[in-house]
Structure 1
């Protein structure tokens, strides 16, 4: 990858950087409950170097390390796996214990204020510490990825840590369902027999937390077999939007899944449905669009010929006259107000894209059937503005965003208020390189607790999960 502004900044030792972008941030939050909040001041002040060398935060904020790769899990199932990635927090029920409905779990019922934190592990076959296989929770015993679940009390003390699903591969991101389960996504297309796998991969799985909604190791095949990244539900219709982070050209697609039982509750996604891909008339590649505010009507949704990709990966399939719309590095995806937002982390013409950018955020309004480019990160002209390559994104209590970057050099989480103010919220301090050539693991999985008092955050390498508390604006 060419030297970016952030890499150049890291070499100079400069601090207090901000994201460069163009676009109307207010549009990201239009119609949401969060839009009624103050919108946030311009950050919480400069980042303070952490004497422990783990995580730099503004003054007044504190972190607690909840879990680190290699430590023993409280369940006794094995070590905490590597490659911490996408994550979400859910309120736990007072009266229902955890488990897979087959004797795993003890119905702890720890009471009011308990939170379930579910965490992906993006292990491929070469992952350092695999997700331990557990009876009833394992899809393919030869695959190394999956999810773990932490049960936390109101003070972020870890009550339990256990396997949520095992035997999946390259679990990158996902998203919460409308009924408080986690959809974990495989970012791979391995087939049975490839690299030692015994089953096909590239699916979505539903991870549950209690006996009423247990984890299912049956893949949601109708939702497609491809290099999944993230999902977001339309709460009005039950439609599910999905992003594809394909590694090579042709790049990924943006999908819509129409369940046969929309909003049917736990287990309903197994009833199947129709998978479609987005076609923007006249736009074969979203990277070619550079003007923020540019909007396209008449969006077409084309049925995927073979959702399970039995012979041909979906992005290579024939979508008929007009083709289909691709985009490089489609990653984060979330629902806000009346629209779904999705992220293209970057595009490089040298790698086959029709344009170059350091990150886009797109908004699709299903009622108006309209797609709009709302944010463009960059350009690379000012090394004092190092923000680039947005990945995981979540809504903040103040009504803004938290953006995890995924690129070279220093690694930050940036806050973005709904008024367009941008500030550094966290900076990684764990050097995984050398003193002469420092490197830092990317951030992922930013998510807020149900009471909005804690931001949970993963460092991918070394796998570390933080709980961050402080004077969050509400």
Structure 2
């Protein structure tokens, strides 16, 4: 089943039952162009949006941080928005990851009390915005971490930032082991500090989602080589215990789908697997062996390439496999999947399969960060080849282009556009915030958003 997005030269293919994400129905949907109309070229050459929408640039890499702590860091990635107060006024706290490696262009400045490893170049920055999306403050929220890719919000209003690396102390100049999750308080980062949540595992973290009723934290692993990453759950010792409670420890487990060693082998949308098992991770700190290489017994464990976005919706957790390539070791090829795990039924379902229509250079492949929209649908950041979009998916399973990146980081003859990341909405649903990864740019998008 194919959908034409209406964007210039863009085509995407979605197979599967998108309505199942929101209504629990079983019939596959034929997707048609819908949404807010075609994206319109931006005369400023930054961000194309549908007619009636407009953007504000909140922050760009290399500009001075308003706190005076240094420059806005590079590689804007995962992000979340939280309600807050500034005196008597309501504000939005925006926490933004910076996926800086050792050679990051603009590192996250080190700040006393907020720095884990002075050799780490990654971390988070926090912006406080008023009701008109004017920046009231911008400061370092955590520093000295590495390759902060995505993460996720907690039910108690903090951000869990994830390191997408397995580098240990002594590697690449690091003075401490990396590959952890850190909790960040968006209103006052000094309350959370820079403490690794070691019981949640040391691996190439991507994103998390928290079950708001049970307190279980689900985690994705974006491993770069075989054996590929695992899908985890963390059973906290103090579930839903509030800020700092995840430091109390817990059990880390990995998902085992009986008879399915590699999720890429499943190609049929709607395929369902009951009796999903969870196996204790032998060594969560991966002191000698990365977790995905560890011995999970004769039944083995289930792997998948490029496990990325993760979010909680309704009664289930959804997670993204951005792509799979048999040439790189996967069991089969695909251009992106969304899986749904229902913990009450212990049931895993392949909900969506992504893919380009005919040309792999066209958009509509490699879904990455993902979030729920105020309308009840999805917003999906694209991280593939060619033009880069934020795509919307309605409750009825209709697909449309919401934004297109116009910042050419290539040449006029061979243009190239950076990925989108960190899509999220303000607590009142009136603003979409999204990052351009490079050049690092954070946008606030307002307009006639539909409400679900």
Spell out structure 1 runs of 4+ moving beyond 4 A: 382-385
Aligned to 1:397: 374
> Is the partner of 2:292 in helix, strand or coil?
helix
Aligned to 1:21: 14
Q: How much has 1:453 moved relative to structure 2?
A: 0.4
Give the distance between the partners of 1:402 and 1:414, measured in 2 at CA.
6
> Is the partner of 2:339 in helix, strand or coil?
strand
Distance change (3 Å), C-alpha of 1:157 and 1:379: closer
CA contact (8 A) 1:81 1:131 kept: yes
Is 1:283–2:260 an aligned residue pair?
yes
Distance change (3 Å), C-alpha of 1:61 and 1:340: same
Give the distance between the partners of 1:358 and 1:296, measured in 2 at CA.
21
Distance change (3 Å), C-alpha of 1:471 and 1:258: same
TM-score by length of 2: 0.95
> Is the partner of 1:128 in helix, strand or coil?
coil
Q: CA RMSD in A?
A: 2.1
Give the distance between the partners of 2:430 and 2:114, measured in 1 at CA.
32
Is 1:168–2:145 an aligned residue pair?
yes
Q: How much has 1:111 moved relative to structure 2?
A: 3.2
CA contact (8 A) 2:95 2:125 kept: yes
CA contact (8 A) 2:229 2:306 kept: yes
Q: How much has 1:82 moved relative to structure 2?
A: 0.1
Give the distance between the partners of 1:360 and 1:210, measured in 2 at CA.
35
Aligned to 1:322: 299
2:157 to 164, 170, 180: 180
Q: How much has 1:244 moved relative to structure 2?
A: 0.1
Report Cα offsets for 1:85-125 as digits up to 9, x if no partner.
00000001x3xxxxxxxxxxxxxx34332000000000000
Give the distance between the partners of 1:141 and 1:384, measured in 2 at CA.
40
State the number of aligned residues: 443
> Is the partner of 2:421 in helix, strand or coil?
strand
Is 1:249–2:220 an aligned residue pair?
no
Report Cα offsets for 1:365-394 as digits up to 9, x if no partner.
000000000000125536797411100001
Distance change (3 Å), C-alpha of 1:399 and 1:248: same
> Is the partner of 2:192 in helix, strand or coil?
coil
Q: How much has 1:409 moved relative to structure 2?
A: 1.0
Aligned to 1:30: 23
2:132 to 138, 151, 155: 155
Aligned to 1:60: 52
Give the distance between the partners of 2:197 and 2:184, measured in 1 at CA.
12
TM-score by length of 1: 0.91
Aligned to 2:290: 313
Q: How much has 1:418 moved relative to structure 2?
A: 1.2
Q: How much has 1:155 moved relative to structure 2?
A: 0.1
Give the distance between the partners of 2:237 and 2:171, measured in 1 at CA.
32
CA contact (8 A) 2:94 2:186 kept: no
Give the distance between the partners of 2:387 and 2:363, measured in 1 at CA.
9
Q: How much has 1:14 moved relative to structure 2?
A: 7.1
Higher share of residues assigned strand: 2
Q: How much has 1:308 moved relative to structure 2?
A: 0.3
Greater CA drift, 373-382 or 219-228: 373-382
Greater CA drift, 342-351 or 109-118: 109-118
1:82 to 56, 69, 74: 74
CA contact (8 A) 1:329 1:344 kept: yes
* Pairing of 1:233-248 with structure 2 (within 5 A): 233-248=210-225
Report Cα offsets for 1:333-391 as digits up to 9, x if no partner.
00000000000000000000001100000000000000000000125536797411100
Give the distance between the partners of 1:161 and 1:350, measured in 2 at CA.
43
* Pairing of 1:330-409 with structure 2 (within 5 A): 330-378=307-355, 380-381=357-358, 386-409=363-386
CA contact (8 A) 2:113 2:190 kept: no
Give the distance between the partners of 2:274 and 2:88, measured in 1 at CA.
49
Q: How much has 1:30 moved relative to structure 2?
A: 3.0
Give the distance between the partners of 2:18 and 2:109, measured in 1 at CA.
42
> Is the partner of 1:63 in helix, strand or coil?
strand
CA contact (8 A) 1:253 1:325 kept: yes
1:46 to 22, 25, 38: 38
Give the distance between the partners of 1:385 and 1:252, measured in 2 at CA.
27
Gaps of 5+ in 2: 25-31
Report Cα offsets for 1:42-77 as digits up to 9, x if no partner.
211111100000000000000000000000010000
Distance change (3 Å), C-alpha of 1:297 and 1:155: same
Greater CA drift, 245-254 or 20-29: 20-29
Give the distance between the partners of 2:361 and 2:115, measured in 1 at CA.
47
CA contact (8 A) 1:454 1:467 kept: yes
Aligned to 1:218: 195
Give the distance between the partners of 2:396 and 2:369, measured in 1 at CA.
20
